């Protein structure tokens, strides 16, 4: 007796997805790597590893590679966890900052070049800076979902930081990282070292090494680095994890007071009692500043952050729009 239509459908679907799995093995392997730490990730890596071996042996990874090359997305499946930092940390205490000099002037004719980059939280403040226009020239808003400094596997920002200054020639870089870093796991940890759970001394030290490294890397090229802190979130889980990241960002900025800035979005978006609120009174009107997920910003919040950032940068630069 033959199979019924339903069971033939199940067979076609199962075999079809298996074929798709072999053809897309390297993409699935990467998807597995970028999952949050836990059983699901371990199982996914365990399943995709032999899938990649089979696919490579049969040369079935080639069509995907060729198609990626054709659409300009070559190397998307590469798993790069290396933390590329070229400027070594100082071996002794930094000298005191030089006396403050006259602030450089920026005008619409000679604008301040700003590059905004980071995870999904980077997009809205970057777009708000773009809207300011005038003496602010946003040379790029690079927002990559779910990326960060803790797990370079999805996107390696350390590599990007090596190439972006030459391409975009920014004077100021605004970074928004950390929402996807606040987990108990880090990739690219130096050999022989291990990192404990989020908030442990080893986690904070390694995260600080990365944030500090990125800051020094860009400072060495004459670029001022702005770190946007993580905003006060609606969820309880994030309310515990975000401050861990913010403490690290703040500590790094304290170590580079003349060449980096910390923008405290936590306080900026909290209500008068220091608690989470989706609405803030702006220009006399209650205005929605957070999206329903309780983390991401609305455009109004982006404008608020951009204005605060400019206020803080006014100490260093004379921006005349």
Partner 1 sequence: MLFPTATFALFFLVVLPLSWLTMPWPHRWRPFIILASYVFYSWWDWRFVLLLAGCTLWNQLLAVRIWRSTVQAQKRALLVLALAGDLGLLGYFKYYDFFVSSGDNLASYVGMDLPLSLKSIVLPVGISFFTFMAISYVVDAYRGDFQPTTLEKFAVYLSFFPHLVAGPIVRPAELIPQIETPRDPRRVDTSRAFYLIATGLFKKVVIANYLASSIVDQVFATPGQHSSLEILIAIYAYAVQIYADFSGYTDIAIGIALLLGFVFPQNFDSPYAAVSLQDFWRRWHMTLSRWLRDYLYIPLGGNRKGRIATYRNLMLTMLLGGLWHGAAWTFVIWGGIHGVGLCVERALGWRPASRRAQWFGRILTFQIVCFAWIFFRADSLARAGQILERLFTAWGQSSPLVTTSVLLAIAVGIGGQYVRPSVVTAVVRGFGRMPTLAQASCIGVGVALIETLGPVGVPPFIYFRF
Q: Please give the DSSP secondary-structure letter assigned to residue 172.
A: E
CB of 302 to partner 1, least distance (A): 8
Q: Where are the beta strands (DSSP E) in 185-320?
A: 224-228, 260-263, 279-282, 285-288, 318-319
CB of 16 to partner 1, least distance (A): 3
Cβ neighbours for 129, distance < 8 A, ≥ 6 positions apart:
114, 116, 136, 138, 174, 306, 309
CB of 48 to partner 1, least distance (A): 9
CA 98 – CA 101 distance, rounded (Å) = 8
Structure tokens of 305? Answer: 């952050």
Closer by beta carbon to partner 1, 149 or else 154? 154
CB of 215 to partner 1, least distance (A): 27
The residues that touch partner 1, with contacts defined as CB under 8 A, are 3-20, 22-24, 27-28, 30-31, 40, 44, 63-64, 67-68, 71, 76, 123-124, 127, 130-131, 133, 145-146, 154, 234, 276-279, 284-288, 290, 292-294, 298-300
Closer by beta carbon to partner 1, 169 or else 281? 281
Closer by beta carbon to partner 1, 34 or else 189? 34
CB of 67 to partner 1, least distance (A): 5
Specify the length of the chain in residues: 321
Q: Please give the DSSP secondary-structure letter assigned to residue 103.
A: P
The strands making up 172-176's β-sheet, listed across from edge to edge, are: 136-143, 112-118, 172-176, 224-228, 260-263
Closer by beta carbon to partner 1, 20 or else 220? 20
Closer by beta carbon to partner 1, 127 or else 176? 127
């Amino acid at each position: 007796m033959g199979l019924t239509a339903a069971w033939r459908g199940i067979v076609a679907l199962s075999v079809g997805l298996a074929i798709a799995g072999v053809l897309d093995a390297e993409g699935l392997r990467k998807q597995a790597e970028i999952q949050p730490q836990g059983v699901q990730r371990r199982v996914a890596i365990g399943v995709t590893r032999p899938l990649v071996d089979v696919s490579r042996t049969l040369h079935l990874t080639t069509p995907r590679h060729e198609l990626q090359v054709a659409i300009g997305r070559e190397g998307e499946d590469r798993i790069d966890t290396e933390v590329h930092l070229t400027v070594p940390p100082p071996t002794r205490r930094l000298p005191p900052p030089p006396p403050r000099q006259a602030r450089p002037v920026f005008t619409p004719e000679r604008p301040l070049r700003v590059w905004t980059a980071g995870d999904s939280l980077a997009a809205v403040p970057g777009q708000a800076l773009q809207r300011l226009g005038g003496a602010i020239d946003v040379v790029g808003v690079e927002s990559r979902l779910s990326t960060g400094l803790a797990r370079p596997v999805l996107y390696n920002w350390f590599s990007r930081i090596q190439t972006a200054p030459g391409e975009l020639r920014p004077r100021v870089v605004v970074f928004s990282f950390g929402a996807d870093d606040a987990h108990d796991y880090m990739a690219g940890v130096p050999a022989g070292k291990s990192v404990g759970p989020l908030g442990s001394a080893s986690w904070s030290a390694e995260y600080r090494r990365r944030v500090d490294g990125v800051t020094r890397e860009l400072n060495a090229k004459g670029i001022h680095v702005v770190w946007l802190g993580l905003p006060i979130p609606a969820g309880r889980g994030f309310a515990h994890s975000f401050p861990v990241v913010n403490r690290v960002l703040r500590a790094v900025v304290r170590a580079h007071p003349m060449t980096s800035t910390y923008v405290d979005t936590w306080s900026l978006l909290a209500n008068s009692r220091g608690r989470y609120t989706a609405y803030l009174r702006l220009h006399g009107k209650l205005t929605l500043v957070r999206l329903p997920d309780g983390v991401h910003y609305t455009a109004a919040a982006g404008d608020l952050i951009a204005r605060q950032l400019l206020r803080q940068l006014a100490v260093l630069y004379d921006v005349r729009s």
